[in-house]
Each structure stands twice: as C-alpha cells, then as structure tokens.
Amino acid sequence: MNDKPLVVIGAGGTGGHMFPAAAFAEEMAARSWEVGLISDDRGLRYAEKFPANWKMEVKAASPNIRKPWTLPGTALKLRAGVNSAVRRFKQKQRPALIAGFGGYPAYPALSAGRRLGIPLLIHEQNAVLGRVNRAFAKSASVVASGFERLDRLPGGANHQPIGNPVRAPIAAVRDVPYPATDGEMTVFITGGSQGARILGEAIPLAIANHIPAPLRMRLHVLQQVREEQLEDVRAIYEKVDVKATLQPFFSDMPDRLAAAHLVIARSGAGTVSEIAAVGRPSILIPLKIAMDNHQEANAEGLVDAGAADMLLEDNLYPNLIGELLAVRLGDANELTVRAAAAKALGNVRAAEDLADLAEQISDRDA
C-alpha cells in the first residue's frame, strides 16, 4: 500500500487544459503526493513529460447537440470511463482528492470521485466556466479560476480566483527586464494551432503597407505561421526588407516572450496568463469561434489594466492593425508602462496557491 496521499487529475485533450494541470502536478509531487492522471488519447499525447506516477486512458467525447444521433454513443463512452475510474479507485488506491482541469476527459474522474464521496477541486483556466466544470461546480469543495472574472458559475459554488498555473520556464523569465527600446524592436506574433491562419494573412500586410518606413526598418518580426503560409508570408516581409523569423511552432516560447517589445496573440487562457507573468504589452485577438466567447472574456483583465489592446476578428483589417502598431511601437514610454501593468497582473505562484487549496480540502489524513 502506498503511504503517500494520492491526487488524481482529470484533464481534457488540449494543451490549454494539460499544461496548467502539469504545473499543478509538479507542485503536488514536490509536496510528496502521488499523482495520477486520467485523460483520453488526445490528452495523453500532451502528457509524455507529465509528472504523474501513473496515467490512465479513458474513453471520452463531447456531446454534440447539433448531431443528436451521436449522443447515445457519447453517453456510453462517458459511462464506461466513469466505471473504469471507479474500479481503479476501489481496487488500487482511494484518492485523497480529485482535481478537474476541464474538458470532457475530466468527466470520468470527477464523476467517479463524486460517486465515492472523494473531495473535488476544480480549476477553470478561462474567464467562462466550461461545460464539464459547470456540471461539477456545486459538488466541488472549491472552484479555483485563472481570472477574477468567471462567467456561468452556478449559485452557491465556492469560487476562489488564484490565477493559472504557469510552466516553470515561464516563471523563470519573469525577472527578465523589459528590453531597451532605442534600437531593434521585436514583435512576437503567436496564433496557436487554430488561430494562426488569419494572423498570417492580415498582419504581414499591416506591417508591410501601413507602418511608417523608419519604424518598419527597426522591426524584427517573430511570427508563428502555418506551414502552407510560410512562403507567402516570407515574400511579403522580404519585399519591404523587414527582418523576420517565421516558424510553424516556437518551442522556446519563454525566451521569445521575454525578448519581445510587443506581443500579438490569441487570448487563450494560457497565453494571456503567460504574457502577464512575463510582463509584456500585447494586442490580443480573441478566437471568434471560441466556446461561449471565452477568449474575449480572457482578454478583459489586461485590457482594463491598460496592458493590452483587443482587436476582434471582424475588425482585423491590415490598415487598422498597422495604425495601432505604429501608435504602440512609436511610444517607448507607453510600452514600458503597459509592460509594468501586465506584470502587475501576472502570478507565477498560482500552482503553489492551488496546491495549498488542494491540501486544505483533501482527505489525506482520513
């Protein structure tokens, strides 16, 4: 029998759920907890380096009311996942806590925990409570969140905003000073897997055609570009002699963020939290198709603090982007003020704060 208390983490099949879950798992492991991870096949693709003692794959699927004929199959998958989790908890080791980080692959762990009377902790990364977290919010001892704002929270739930756990390499560059503004100006553009296409279409044209030449000549553009767009985007920058580093994926995100004078990005919860943690001014472009418009809500805190501008997809015209970039990059003092405002909202202790909550509500001594 393992003497260490066990926390089981249920997390969905995207990096947005898995990365903060991994930061929390690392903190719990450092506090001498055993960590288990329950997810589906998509989630486990992100979990190669997840700090868990064991990982369990369950079947899970998101209900799609637009395709009602798929609902019975979805329900069967979720029920099978719940039954698998219940068996594991009964036969191997009863968890002292279940921590759900959202997404339908978290449903089996949370449902099994509720059935067995195990304390539940929920962490919601976005400013709008997701569907699975919403279903368990009243059953959870605590609903922790990445932002002060949390829409769709059921009445009676115990809400505690603590921030989003950020990766250790992000926390490590928090103290890197804002770069000097008297020479080359670095603009870092990251779009995420779903959102890079429209950024690859609009932003190069904005920089090439709608920024004054003296400022344009000082730019170093680092841009995440979809593979099929690389050639066209490179040609636009080369035509106007803009120094550009283009990649489909940046594996050194912390260093790129730290070196940036201005970040242009989607407003996924992890991205917004990392921009704040490092303390960089930004232009945020919410993904229009995001569930419950949560990316617009995510951006609100930085915008209200004067640390970011928000541009909606419907207004993503090269001339508007170019005019905004010219204003922001042309005022070095304002950039440093905005960087400080972002940093004031950043929290690199969220994983520790979440672990403190976890230990307070757990059954570790039961």
Q: What is the pLDDT of residue 263?
A: 98
pLDDT of residue 180: 96
In order of start, what are the domains of the chain with their CATH numbers? 6-165+349-361 (3.40.50.2000), 172-345 (3.40.50.2000)
Dihedral angle sign, alpha carbons of residues 339, 258, 270, 52: negative
What token pair was written down for 36? Answer: 């288990």
How confident is the prediction along the chain (366 residues), in pLDDT tens digits per residue? 578 999 999 998 788 899 999 999 999 999 999 999 999 888 898 888 899 999 999 876 565 556 665 556 667 777 888 999 999 999 999 999 999 999 989 999 999 999 999 999 999 999 999 999 999 999 999 999 999 999 999 999 999 999 999 988 999 999 999 999 999 999 999 986 656 788 999 999 999 999 999 999 999 999 999 999 999 999 999 999 999 999 998 889 999 999 999 999 999 999 999 999 999 999 999 999 888 899 999 999 999 999 999 999 999 999 999 999 999 999 999 999 999 999 999 999 999 999 999 999 999 765
Alpha helices in 117-217 (DSSP H): 131-136, 168-172, 192-209, 213-216
Output the pLDDT for position 48: 85
Q: Rounded distance, CA 4 to CA 8, Å?
A: 13
Task: Check if the beta carbon of residue 85 is closer than 8 Å to that of residue 58.
Answer: yes
pTM of the predicted model as reported, rounded to 2 decimal places: 0.92
Position 74 scores a pLDDT of 62
DSSP secondary structure letter of residue 177: P
Instruction: Give the strands of the sheet with 243-247, arranged side by side.
Output: 243-247, 219-224, 185-190, 262-265, 282-284, 308-310
The pLDDT assigned to 231 comes to: 96
pLDDT at residue number 64: 56
CB atoms within 10 A of CB 329: 22
Reading phi first (left if > 0) and then psi (alpha if -120 to 50, else beta), residue 292 is in left
- Cα separation of the two ends of the chain: 15
